Structure 1
């Protein structure tokens, strides 16, 4: 027995209180003279500057079960970050486990239930001078030529060469293969590095790839403790430790939408993610929760010869026994191809004019909802199914027409009393003529009075069929005496209000308005006549007591700048505040490139409408992210168009 272990045993025997509460013993290396190393000895192996530690680490919920692991030691006691383990996470050791260096210089890790060497790679020293187990400051556990960096588990550390080694998540479901693929159960790849394999994680936050390309993390350039970990949700992430906050935070991740990871939900289920990045598995219409698997769904009514399709906007199923991609002319052709296959459970179609059509055969796997897919899933159900689709988006065309049935009465039967009919018609004509003259005389008599009243109230300037005119009292009550201010901008202050019919509106009190009532109402009428999907709708106005107020629709998702600029920035023009939330929380929202493309396309359509398609030619003069608002389904809407005409020239 080594002097260190002998001293430790004598100390425990001579100190009863210490034997009751065993002290931790820190060592800098482990050799054959220190054998055996037992879990009950409470020994840890430290790196030179105590950044890392190695040893038998007890499981959080099972103190009598252990993993031989490496973890960050320079962290607060309440933060445990294990970066490597000699045994699998689902195969912990008992208290009878031991680590020894045999007389043949072999490093052996055994448990009472197995006599085989459980240490990965079964290292054996080539000479007696190298029979020491040492933990380097970079977290690499070394025994002669054996290194833990050659046998990673779920984490890569800075300076560790990746070189095609494999990562496995702690739950064993997900793998990072060939330094370039994320895979579910070895067979289903759901993310790739685009032919640039990972080479090495650096302490500055960059990840070296092939072809002299690097991935840059959010806090690139700051030297911190970092790790590249494959988490149990299947996402590959770079973590950085912020000492000022005392916690790890995500500096980079492979997938921005966690629902795109395969295996998150079971068969037929659809993965949904909310604003707090919380995932849930929901069943599509016509399905219910499976009795055997809580994350899977099963049909309510089995398919028969008579079927129909339910449209699920932005739903994509990326797995199945066979996905057949077709190039078709239209939706009807794609539907016909699905109906021709008895095993077709639905098809995916994209309204882009490119003929995108994918038949989903035999199984529905790895379903998720995301506006970035721009795909509509047409789910095949039985004709007797009564469920309606609750997945709707921009591809759903709203029916805005109201059919009216008009029926005319049958003409009366012909009569021979021609003279009587002529007399009746002549009498009626004469009576109508006399009545018309009398009414016209009465109108002329009171015309001056009516004209004066109209001039007093400004009614002669109010165009027929224009926007609704609100009184100042109505808007004062709707905004609670203009107390709920949600923004300020160059055109005026904005308040949030609620109309008597429960509609939420944004009320903008204009300032520096030029012209009289006639000019103001003429300009408001022009703005109100501009109807476009990508323009904010003007619902009404108020011109009373010297006030000039516009009433807009309320756009809940706010302006585009909160998704593009760094966290904490507030819109300067007040447009975001008038249509949605004023401030941005601590995190920066993420938009994938599909949504960004649709936003750019919608803004371009709105500008083209203002410049070329509407009857009144309008130059916006102030296009910027703060004036681009996002609806519930991220449909872009431009605001503040046409207001430049209402401003005084001296403020330009």
Structure 2
């Protein structure tokens, strides 16, 4: 073919037009300036960062014909939600983005950022709209980083006056620190310090050289978002997990603590896990409004002059008026203070002896939510005629008794005018008083010598005022019907059920074979008397008479945890401690669901942390096991048999001369020559925590390929959970069918990981009980644990 033929020129023209059409349909700009104006959605233009990570342009609003000018991750699919910034103004298909001759960036004829005083302007029309490699859209002095919407990107500084707004407009993140409900500006969450920035690796720096982190270290797309549910979360994009954004950090674990979930008087309750979905419930005495419980609740019966209080356990409330905290020495004072105040809607009271009492006044109760970590019992005022029972019950009832004493003095004798009679009366009285005084002094002297010797022998002469009540041996015999109702046997003695004259049911423990003599018994009385915690069995009194050493505890009717967990092959634990388990209790106990097991684990962890870290003196339990965990109202756990172990100061190490505890729950250092510390209790708790998940004894061999003499329960559970990824095989068979991987995996995974850290063979590798409680709560990150091993078997 000749180069000058018409066919050749036609072919060349066709190729040029085709290439031009392709370039116009896929036009990607590196900047946008005056010469490129105007820019319409139909032109299919995009503004691309030089590293091609971010794209800006008109983005179609779902389910509408409108567009926003937005910024998004180029390589994140639409289904995963790539947007990181958008204008508030929406335009239709004929809308324009342009730079006019005055150097103003206009969207549909109006300033580009019409909701902010910092509009996009420039003194010259030569200024360009540029998308930087970090996702910052810049025009002159204006930038998207200084005008965020609901998202923060890596390397975006939290400047002065920085705010994030949720897309639904209900929540704000202000001052780079605080989450508030937009309608009322009520605060519901605050970071430890003011946030400064987030780097490419997910590390969020704060003032004071502190920081927050999640999956710190991986190079991937990240963003910090104020979601429409009011929570602040950090997301990382995982292409290997179906191209999804994965939540790696969030500010609030209990979603009900976010204000505005429910209307006035209603109570927010989690559906399954505390960190997932919620629903609203009206308390007893209230009914939902026409719009449902999300709109709030109203009283069934308006308040009259005669009122009563409805108890709501594990419930928190505020009011639309005021919260007034007062000092109340007992419950009656707190209740009376609210009864006298016509504006008082209810009150909260702590049964810990602190005298905490808070009165709620106003028109409505606000921001109610249920939480297992609530320490205050809430009492809501209702009309006297209200007959419905409370729908939030669980905290142990506390009995208060008062003994009124009436004292009266005899009337003085009538005056007499006879001097002789008066003298005779005075002399007679003086002689009688003298004789009575001598007799009383002699009796006192004999008794003083007797009791002084007894007190010296038992070391009770230093018994502090306000300590536990001292019972006589005869009182104990009457209370226990001459020790006829035996309810348990243990290594330190037998336990009998009894009833005091004030009708309190008690558990009476008769000690025997207590090593250390008087000193150890005195240590138990003084130490246990100081223990005040929701999850510890309370000591009410003692007896030291006629060679007897007796402790009087509160009685826990629910029995011990092992009765609920282990229902098969009972022969292994026939000889274990069975204190305070009633023989009349039916053998078939209710099955504990996953939420109750989690609450039991959290309550026991908090109680042990209290013994280790919050007491005036450090108390080691040395025998943590299911038999020593009793279940009270609403399965509230209470640890028993503490205080019998030796006491040590916090700065000293303890080396005990003999083993203490139960085989299967004893830490390796009991057998080796290592000193005994609080980490021994951590090991025992880890074994109990693993049994809570599996429902089997740690020494009951399960399916394994190793020999029976090398089988180790934690190692078996580790392989099933983290190597074989067959979590269902370690779950309790009684409730395995109710396990939902979406609802329960996070809870079970947190419990198993925490147990694995507690069961490390070296004490220094185990966390403290305070950290264990936080790991279960989810307030600290749990790293991947090492496989627990027995020190004499080593790694497999």
Task: Output the TM-score relative to the length of structure 2.
Answer: 0.53
Shift of 1:279: 0.7
Residue 234 (structure 1) aligns with: 230
Shift of 1:506: 2.5
Structure 1 pair 163/101, CA: closer, same or farther in 2 (3 Å)?
Answer: same
Shift of 1:95: 2.9
Q: 1:235 and 1:256 mapped to 2: Cα distance?
A: 9
Residue 317 (structure 2) aligns with: 317
Which of 607, 618, 625 is 2:685 aligned to?
Answer: 625
Q: After superposition, give the CA deviation of every residue in 1:52-91 in whole Å (9 maximum; x if it has no partner).
A: 11112111111x112211111211232223211221xxx5
Residue 96 (structure 2) aligns with: 98
Structure 1 pair 224/559, CA: closer, same or farther in 2 (3 Å)?
Answer: farther
Partner of 1:95, secondary structure, is: coil
Partner of 2:59, secondary structure, is: strand
Q: 2:361 and 2:595 mapped to 1: Cα distance?
A: 40
Residue 441 (structure 2) aligns with: none
Q: After superposition, give the CA deviation of every residue in 1:346-383 in whole Å (9 maximum; x if it has no partner).
A: 11112221111111111211110001121211011111
Residues 85, 153 of structure 1: 8 Å contact kept: yes
Q: After superposition, give the CA deviation of every residue in 1:246-274 in whole Å (9 maximum; x if it has no partner).
A: 21111111111111111111111111113
Residue 154 (structure 2) aligns with: 158
Which of 492, 499, 509 is 2:569 aligned to?
Answer: 509
Residue 374 (structure 1) aligns with: 375
Partner of 1:338, secondary structure, is: helix
Which of 610, 613, 620 is 2:641 aligned to?
Answer: 610
1:291 counterpart = 2:290: yes
Which of 151, 162, 168 is 2:165 aligned to?
Answer: 168
Residue 47 (structure 2) aligns with: 45
Residue 56 (structure 1) aligns with: 58
Q: 2:378 and 2:69 mapped to 1: Cα distance?
A: 48
Structure 1 pair 278/558, CA: closer, same or farther in 2 (3 Å)?
Answer: closer
Residue 428 (structure 1) aligns with: none
Structure 1 pair 188/45, CA: closer, same or farther in 2 (3 Å)?
Answer: same
Q: Which has the higher strand share?
A: 1
Q: 1:183 and 1:610 mapped to 2: Cα distance?
A: 46
Q: 1:115 and 1:149 mapped to 2: Cα distance?
A: 17
Q: Which has the higher helix share?
A: 2
Partner of 1:40, secondary structure, is: helix
Residues 108, 118 of structure 1: 8 Å contact kept: no
Structure 1 pair 376/341, CA: closer, same or farther in 2 (3 Å)?
Answer: same
Structure 2: gaps spanning 5 or more residues: 1-12, 400-483, 489-562, 613-619, 625-638, 646-658, 667-680, 700-708, 713-791
Q: 1:232 and 1:558 mapped to 2: Cα distance?
A: 27
Partner of 2:373, secondary structure, is: helix
Residues 314, 371 of structure 2: 8 Å contact kept: yes
1:394 counterpart = 2:443: no
Residue 84 (structure 1) aligns with: 85
Residues 559, 630 of structure 1: 8 Å contact kept: no
Shift of 1:556: 3.7
Give the root-mean-square deviation of aligned CA atoms. 4.2
Partner of 2:566, secondary structure, is: strand
Q: After superposition, give the CA deviation of every residue in 1:506-554 in whole Å (9 maximum; x if it has no partner).
A: 234378x7xxxxxx97x36xx33x1279xxx99899xxxxxxxxx9885
Q: 1:190 and 1:213 mapped to 2: Cα distance?
A: 22
Number of aligned residues: 467
Partner of 1:372, secondary structure, is: coil
Partner of 1:170, secondary structure, is: coil
Structure 1 pair 612/539, CA: closer, same or farther in 2 (3 Å)?
Answer: farther
* Pairs within 5 Å for 1:276-287: 276=273, 277-287=276-286
Shift of 1:599: 6.2
Residue 33 (structure 2) aligns with: 31
Q: 1:559 and 1:316 mapped to 2: Cα distance?
A: 20
* Pairs within 5 Å for 1:437-586: 506-509=566-569, 523=575, 527-528=577-578, 530-531=579-580, 555-557=592-594
Residues 611, 619 of structure 1: 8 Å contact kept: no
Q: 2:303 and 2:690 mapped to 1: Cα distance?
A: 40
* Pairs within 5 Å for 1:403-442: none
Structure 1 pair 596/227, CA: closer, same or farther in 2 (3 Å)?
Answer: farther
Residue 474 (structure 2) aligns with: none
Residue 270 (structure 1) aligns with: 267
Name whichever of 600-609 and 68-77 sits farther off: 600-609
Structure 1 pair 612/27, CA: closer, same or farther in 2 (3 Å)?
Answer: closer
Residue 456 (structure 1) aligns with: none
Q: 2:343 and 2:302 mapped to 1: Cα distance?
A: 13
Q: After superposition, give the CA deviation of every residue in 1:24-69 in whole Å (9 maximum; x if it has no partner).
A: 543222111111112232322121232111112111111x112211
Partner of 1:179, secondary structure, is: coil
Residues 168, 228 of structure 2: 8 Å contact kept: yes
Structure 1 pair 394/43, CA: closer, same or farther in 2 (3 Å)?
Answer: same
Structure 1 pair 631/373, CA: closer, same or farther in 2 (3 Å)?
Answer: farther
Residues 97, 107 of structure 2: 8 Å contact kept: yes
Shift of 1:397: 6.1
Residue 483 (structure 1) aligns with: none
* Pairs within 5 Å for 1:106-121: 106-110=104-108, 118=114, 120=116, 121=118
Structure 1 pair 77/286, CA: closer, same or farther in 2 (3 Å)?
Answer: same
Q: 2:322 and 2:690 mapped to 1: Cα distance?
A: 37
Residue 383 (structure 1) aligns with: 384
Name whichever of 298-307 and 41-50 sits farther off: 41-50
Task: Output the TM-score relative to the length of structure 1.
Answer: 0.63
